[in-house]
Structure 1
Amino acid sequence: MSVVGDIYDVKFLTFNTWGLKFVSKHRKERLRAIADKLAGKSAAIPLPGSETLRSDECELEDDYDVVALQEIWCKSDWDYIVSRCHQKYPYYRIFYSGILAGPGLAILSKIPIESTFLYRFPINGRPSAFFRGDWYVGKSVSITLLKPLSKSTYPLAILNSHMHAPYALKGDAAYHCHRSCQAWDFSKIANLYKKAGYAVVIVGDLNSRPGSLPHQFLTKETGLVDSWEQLHGEQDLQLISRMDPHDQIRLGGTTCDSILNTWRAQRRPDEACRLDYALVDPERLETVQARVKFTEQIPNVGSFSDHFAYNCTLRLLPKSESQPKNPPKRDLLLDKLANYEEMLQVLAKYRRVSKWQKLWRGTHFWLSVLIIIIIHVVTTFTSNRAGWSSVFWVFFATFMAVTGLIDGLISFLFGRSEIRALEEVSQEVRDSRREIQETLENKL
């Protein structure tokens, strides 16, 4: 943290570390290398031709004030990070709430932590998609409130998240509705802390491209701005997709699916995108520097993660005397209204999917009950003619009982809960739409 007079600059880093146990390649070596680099002791080598990505202040490149991490899912990895970085980052926290694992969110800070809080998203994938795991880890927003740096600046509220991943560009596997609902809740939380007088910073792997509906909710609903765009201006995504991979990082801030990342080298160059963000309150924070970091490679391993990290330096603006806020502009209200209409369509479309899932799983449960009864009757007759058939019917009955019970529980418990959660979001969006419509009518 740099201080010049009453001007405070805070250096942030957000990094998806790809720390899945048994799944992520070279997890232990990479997480330890990340900890070593954060501690200022790295043996990583720069990418060939990456001179333009390097800072002139080499000795300060990895000297951050706040580090927000995602996908920290192994306690041994976190213990190593804490022990390695304790002197540099004496304040730290990992968040635990989840079903099989925590949300993977953690924070390291040079600034004292005042309090923390975790909000778990109620709409977050399905338990039947066990091979994806989003539902089981309990995707969340971790809120970390830092102690004020001075009486003349706003205290910082760091909202760190790793939203539901897309597993396809379109269709049910894209989980577009889930991320949109998560961003809707996320924006409500950010607004609460803004109203409470905090300088809000949303960081993390939001799994949403610039301009997408989740990104729109996190910016237009909150008044926050993308720190990269605050510094560099609005980005032309089509132009960035055609750039040289090094320029995609340097000029486009791409952190994901770059072919320069050894774990994503088989991707097409135009698939590189920006999914890792720092969204900031422009009335209380100003971006003075932003770049993609952790682009180096670990000898004999590869890149630090399947994402690159994102770093920005934020200047805390002095408190101003409270003034009545100007009413939102008509164009902004129209943009919000368009987002609400799109959201209602997304919710309606996915609600049909959710109801179908609940119906066929419930049907499978009752069919399983019927089939098990039939098996008991059939076994009585077949066992007299072929004793070995009883073994087959026992295995078949067991299979039907297990799968039917699982689908029954998903249908009766999860299915009902998801449909009600979707309806809740739908009502909230309608309430906001009604208020915007009344405001627009009054302006006429």
Structure 2
Amino acid sequence: MADVSSDNDGRVPSQSPSSIRVISLNCWGLKFISKYRKERLAEIGRQLANASPTPEIVGLQECWTQEDFREICAATKHILPHAKFYWSGFFGGGLAILSKWPIEESSMYRYPLNGRPAAFYRGDWYVGKGVACARIRYGVGKKDVIEVFCTHLHAPYEREPNDSYLCHRTAQAWEIAKLMRHAAERGHAVLGLGDFNMLPLSLAHRLIEAHSPVRDVWRIVNPLSAVGAAEDVVEKARGLPTPTAAQCLDLHGATCDSVFNTWRWSKAMQKDLRRGRDTTIDPETLDVRAKRLDYIFFYAPPATSGAEWNVQDVQVGMTMRHPTLRCSLSDHFSIETTLSRSPTATTPADDQTPTPQTTEQNEMIHPLPQKTYTEILTLITHYTQRENRQRRMRLTHFAIEILIAISCLIAVWFSTRNYVSFILMLLSTLGLSVGVLDGLMGGLFVASEVRALKEFEFEVRSAWERAGGLDG
């Protein structure tokens, strides 16, 4: 099951815990690209091993290599003996889950909509982003099971609503919401961890909380926290003063672009740091860029075994520096929470038949506002039109390159000079190669993408119909 074995692998817990400590961190561990990758991820492992409170479940993103994963596992094996590295795409999804308790089942669900192969310089399509799923038995009770979903949604390369990948990220949020809802319907506790690349209360955020019963633990504890960076339009609209760097961490859960993070410093400050000249950041410095992109979502089923779960606390963590390099351990900080379990007034039997629920309760879906469904469908329509245009352009380019290649081959027959023949053959070969790639992307990839968009559209329309927004 797990990629890392342990002496007590598969052993059933001897008792049910009263609390669970959870950590989610984007490690920024891309091979050959991320600076000081090996040193930083090794230190991340050491920090996890010595963290207080001790973590029992950890979700990692951008942990791309087996080497880094194994080093983290070696450092944490005394507290997190069960671990799974998830494989996906050409280069791997970069996802891993570590646990104190046995991982009974695991799977990797790849998102149907996940970037475009033409954007090879971005890589989202090639890494095969998806959801790492793990079913963990944490106690002795029949229902003492928690299903963990760790993900990294498509990166926003432009600001919403002008992000050309917004439709992909919205569809991904829809997919992980379905997975978490299905887990909840099985009567299990649910954890959704990861770098969701979305702002609080954005479309993707609202989708997740509407189409699954999970809730954003940060907003449970801090319901008035920021809905974006101070420079973002959505946050400016609230009319609140720009928060300090300390407030961004303590009140708003900013895990990304904090002035405390050395990877967000200016090139001059980073250069000074490499030369041994550190910079002290005043906690009262106003921070206009810091925002929250990393989340922990949680759901606990109604108490059926004499106990109920609550969010005890939530913090931004992993803000320390590397002890010798003095750089931040990642370009993100972690988000951490403690989930506590307290006894309820009554203690029904573990196998007691649950009280019948309404269809809406069983589906665990909270209808979105009518305009939100319209917004999603409009987004799908516009993106589908864009991709159909791209498909026609790519197939047209393919046809033109075939004609050019044939023309070049014919011209070679009539050429009396070798260098002219060489140039014609070179143009024919290079042009046809590019044309074939465009033809494959237009004929195969875009067609597959459009079909996935149709499935997404059907699901949204069905949800809208159940919410009473469409005539039967």
Is residue 68–residue 106 contact of structure 1 (8 Å, CA) maintained in 2? Answer: yes
Matches of residues 114-193 of structure 1 in structure 2 within 5 Å?
Answer: 114-151=104-141, 154-170=144-160, 173-193=163-183
Distance 1:379 1:152, change over 3 A: closer
Taking the aligned partners of 1:350 and 1:227, their CA distance within structure 2 comes to 32
Give the equivalent residue in structure 2 for 1:275. Answer: 293
Whether the aligned pair in 2 keeps the contact of 1:344 and 1:426 (CA below 8 Å) is yes
Deviates further, 163-172 or 393-402:
163-172
CA RMSD in angstroms, aligned pairs only: 2.6
Q: Distance in 2 between matches of 1:23 and 1:279?
A: 30
C-alpha displacement at 1:339, in angstroms?
A: 2.6
Percent identical residues: 33
In the alignment, the residues of structure 2 paired with residue 290 and residue 333 of structure 1 have an alpha-carbon distance, to the nearest angstrom, of: 25
1:402 partnered with 2:426? no
Q: 310-319 or 185-194, which moves further after superposition?
A: 310-319
1:76–1:334 distance in 2 versus 1, CA, 3 Å: closer
CA distance in 1, matches of 2:49, 2:366: 46
The residue that corresponds to 1:201 in the other structure is: 191
Which structure is higher in RCO with an 8 Å CA cutoff and minimum separation 6? 1
| SS at 1:258 equivalent | coil
Task: Give, in whole Å, the separation in 1 of the partners of 2:368 and 2:199.
Answer: 18
Q: What is the match of residue 263 of structure 2?
A: 263
Aligned runs of 1:24-103 on 2, under 5 Å? 24-40=34-50, 61=52, 63-98=54-89, 100-103=90-93
Instruction: Pick one of 24, 29, 33 that aligns with 1:14.
Output: 24
Native 8 Å contact 1:26 1:301 kept in 2: no
**Structure 2 vs 1, CA of residues 348 and 422 (structure 1 numbering), >3 Å: closer, same or farther?**
same
Q: Give secondary structure in 1 for the equivalent of 2:418.
A: coil
Q: How much has 1:97 moved relative to structure 2? A: 2.3
Residue by residue over 1:244-264, the C-alpha shift from the partner in whole angstroms, topping out at 9 and shown as x without a partner, is 112101111100111211111
Give the counterpart of 1:310 among 317, 335, 355: 335
Show CA shifts across 1:273-315 (max 9, x none): 1111111115553110110001011132400001000100012
The structure-2 alpha-carbon separation of the partners of 1:173 and 1:236, relative to structure 1 and needing over 3 Å to count, comes to: closer
Deviation sequence 1:212-262 (CA, Å, 0-9, x none): 111111111112111011112242433778101121011111001112111
**Cα displacement (A) at 1:108:** 1.0
Structure 1 residues 249 and 174, CA, compared in 2 at 3 Å: closer, same or farther? farther
**1:375 Cα offset (Å):** 0.7
Residues 404 and 201 of structure 1: CA distance in aligned 2, closer, same or farther (over 3 Å): same
Cα separation, 2, equivalents of 1:210 and 1:219: 11
Aligned equivalent of 1:353: 386
**SS at 1:201's partner residue?**
strand
What is the number of residues matched between the two proteins?
414
Between the aligned partners of 1:109 and 1:422, the Cα distance in structure 2 is 35
| 1:296 aligned residue | 320
Change (3 A) 1:424 1:6: closer
Cα distance in 1, alignment partners of residues 107 and 23 from structure 2:
20
| 8 Å CA contact retained: 2:187, 2:301 | no
| Higher deviation after alignment, 150-159 or 117-126 | 150-159
CA apart distance, 1:83: 1.9
Cα distance, 1:31–1:392 mapped onto 2, change above 3 Å: same
Deviates more, 1:216-225 or 1:309-318: 309-318
Deviations along 1:17-58, one digit per CA (max 9) or x if unpaired, are: 001011111111111111121222xxxxxxxxxxxxxxxxxx
Q: Cα deviation per residue 1:62-85 (whole Å; 9 max; x = unaligned)?
A: 620111100111121112112222
Mean CA deviation greater in 170-179 or 216-225: 170-179
Which region of structure 1 is more displaced relative to structure 2, 172-181 or 394-403? 172-181
Q: Greater shift after overlay, 258-267 or 108-117?
A: 258-267
Question: 1:391 aligned to 414, 422, 425, which one?
Answer: 422
Matched with 1:45 is none
Give 3-state SS (helix, strand or coil) of 2:257's partner.
coil
SS at match of 2:98: strand
Matches of 1:38 and 1:388 in 2, distance apart? Answer: 64
Q: Helix, strand or coil for the counterpart of 1:129?
A: coil
Partners of 2:263 and 2:327 within 8 A in 1: yes
The alpha carbon displacement at 1:153 in A equals 5.5
Structure 1 position 269, deviation (Å): 3.0
In structure 1, what is the Cα distance between the partners aligned to 2:115 and 2:368? 28
Q: Secondary structure at the match of 1:24?
A: coil
The C-alpha deviation readout for 1:177-226, integer Å capped at 9, x for no partner, is 00100111111111111110110111111111111111111111112111
With 306-315 and 276-285 compared, the bigger mean Cα shift is at 276-285
Which amino acid counterpart does residue 87 of structure 1 have in structure 2?
H
C-alpha separation in 1, matches of 2:383 and 2:44: 39
Question: What's the secondary structure of 1:270's corresponding residue?
Answer: coil
> Corresponding residue for 1:339?
372
Moved more, 114-123 or 163-172: 163-172
From 216, 220, 223, the equivalent of 1:226 is 216
Q: In the aligned structure 1, how far is the partner of 2:146 from the partner of 2:300?
A: 13
Q: Measure, in 2, the Cα distance between the counterparts of 1:29 and 1:7.
A: 34
Deviation at 1:113, TM superposition (A): 1.4
Aligned mates of 1:183, 1:311 — CA distance in 2 = 21
Query: Runs of 5+ in structure 2 lacking a partner?
Result: 1-12, 228-234, 268-285, 303-308
Q: Which amino acid aligns with 1:394?
A: M
- TM-score, normalised via structure 2 length: 0.82
Given the two structures, how large is their TM-score scaled by the length of structure 1?
0.87
| Change in 2 beyond 3 A, CA 1:415/1:152 | closer
Alignment partners' CA distance in 1, 2:199 and 2:400:
43
More helix by share: 1
Which residue number corresponds to residue 275 of structure 2? none
